[in-house]
Structure 1
Amino acid sequence: MINKQSPVPIYYQLEEQLKNQIESGILQPGDPIWSEREFTERYEISRMTVRQAINNLVHSGLLYRIKGKGTFVTEPKLEQKLTGLTSFTEDMQSRGLTPSSSIIGFSIVPASQNIATELQLKEHAPVYEIKRIRLADGKPMALEKTYLSANLVVGLTEKIVQESLYQYVEGALQLIIESGTQEIEASSASKEEGKLLQVPFNSPLLCMKRKSFLSDGKVLEIVQSSYRADRYKFMVRLDRGLF
């Protein structure tokens, strides 16, 4: 209920009411909320007040709008901790989700100067170039481009890539994946990215570049990923040390 006598702003009361309904499960992901007009008429408050509350929830990622259709509850974001090196498959399985991949490119190509440098190879050495859409429970989460030395990761096939690359490397090839580095920055979806990820053009993306190393110091892979910012977030634990 809205208490018009309360010193708490009405827009904030409405915002908290909707937030509580989402967090308690009364409103489920994908559910529509009332229109601005319905909120205005039922609570007898101004449209500007309703709009401010809804805008705040859209900006915080709890709601999203579809032009001409209305405002809906957002799917909860998946959180990836940045404290360990895990594959997408391992990450999704740990959340109880079913991971899968849609291969949009798989070939062996001569390494460009940049890729050769990154993989510690000679220029034009054969490398796998793998492009795929990463999905969780059938929903696109990220676009991923991976480069690996064809002389290091021998026998790689599309079928293996559709399952788990890390399991193949560690199981079949008996290579030990030891560490990795990751860079993250913000971007916006191109028309092609938007089509493949099923998001509007210019939607926010989280772009990640990962370099993974084997126990002998060799570079295993270079991975460039673009994650849907509405479905994914990264989390890192920070400890305050002594100075």
Structure 2
Amino acid sequence: MTNKVLNYYDLSEIISARIERNEYLPGELLPTEKDFISRYNISRQTTRKAIELLKEEGYVRSVQGQGTFVEKINHSKVAFGVINESDNASFTSLVRKFGIEISSKLLATGAIDSNRFFSSKLEIGLDETIFGIHRIRYGNREPLAIEYTYLPLKFFEDINKHNFEHVSLYDYMATKEHLPLNFREKFIMTQANAKIAKYLGLTDDLTVNKMEITGFDSENNIVEFTESYSRPDKLEVRFVTK
């Protein structure tokens, strides 16, 4: 029994982690509702909501009169959990935990004069310079996302010396003591334009996930603004109300 009062999301995370560690094998019957209620001192409603979430994510299936069975995990889709304020929001950190080989292809890098849009997003002056990094992000050599990242150049004056096709951007930012530690996110579904569709291997009338991420360092400076477009058939963004 745990001292923390679990909600349904906590329970679903515990069960899914055990499935991924093969503690519950495909085709195996999960413990009963009564078992989970007794083990974690939770309500029947909490247990049922956790199982429903696991069914939606493809971890389990219920058979009337028999119980809930573990499904074979589909590793072709990565489920992004909610990025909390203290989470590392980097693509690599979010995806690597699924055992996926990460790689990047640089599309463009360089210094850009600020404008009203970037001045607002990065909270910098119109006379300041930003540095842009545009990359396609691959998982197991498949295109998963395209990222447009912009940083205030004043914090990263030697950034153009690094190749972010091979170097982790967040590792570099940490060496400058401006690693993003807190994040503000905005998520919408949008139609892929021709360029994004081409890079992601989609038809240009398909919907993609668009996420805007603003990163704050330890001094609450905005040090990153990223627009990410990802394939909904490969990356799933999950929002949970606790």
> TM-score, normalised to structure 1's length?
0.64
Gaps of at least 5 residues in structure 1 are 1-23, 26-59, 63-73
Letter matched to residue 99 of structure 2: G
Equivalent residues in 2 for 1:60-79, closer than 5 Å = 76-79=76-79
Aligned residue number for residue 108 of structure 1:
111
8 Å CA contact retained: 1:131, 1:145: yes
Q: 1:113-149: CA deviations, max 9, x gaps?
A: 1101221211031111111111111111111111101
Distance 1:210 1:158, change over 3 A: farther
CA distance in 2, matches of 1:232, 1:201: 18
Of 165, 172, 177, the match for 1:168: 172
Count residues with an aligned counterpart.
Answer: 170
Aligned residue number for residue 123 of structure 2:
120
8 Å CA contact retained: 1:127, 1:149: yes
Aligned residue number for residue 183 of structure 2:
180
8 Å CA contact retained: 1:75, 1:231: no
Letter matched to residue 112 of structure 2: V
Identity %: 19
Distance 1:61 1:111, change over 3 A: same
Q: Which has the larger radius of gyration?
A: 1
8 Å CA contact retained: 2:170, 2:179: no
Q: 1:138-163: CA deviations, max 9, x gaps?
A: 11111111110111122113744223
Letter matched to residue 112 of structure 1: N
CA distance in 2, matches of 1:158, 1:135: 23
Letter matched to residue 136 of structure 1: G
Distance 1:124 1:100, change over 3 A: farther
Distance 1:165 1:176, change over 3 A: closer
Of 132, 153, 156, the match for 1:153: 156
> TM-score, normalised to structure 2's length?
0.64
Give the aligned CA root-mean-square deviation in angstroms: 2.3
CA distance in 1, matches of 2:230, 2:96: 17
Aligned residue number for residue 12 of structure 2:
none
CA distance in 1, matches of 2:101, 2:108: 22
Aligned residue number for residue 89 of structure 1:
92
8 Å CA contact retained: 2:80, 2:237: yes
CA distance in 1, matches of 2:144, 2:155: 28
8 Å CA contact retained: 2:89, 2:183: no
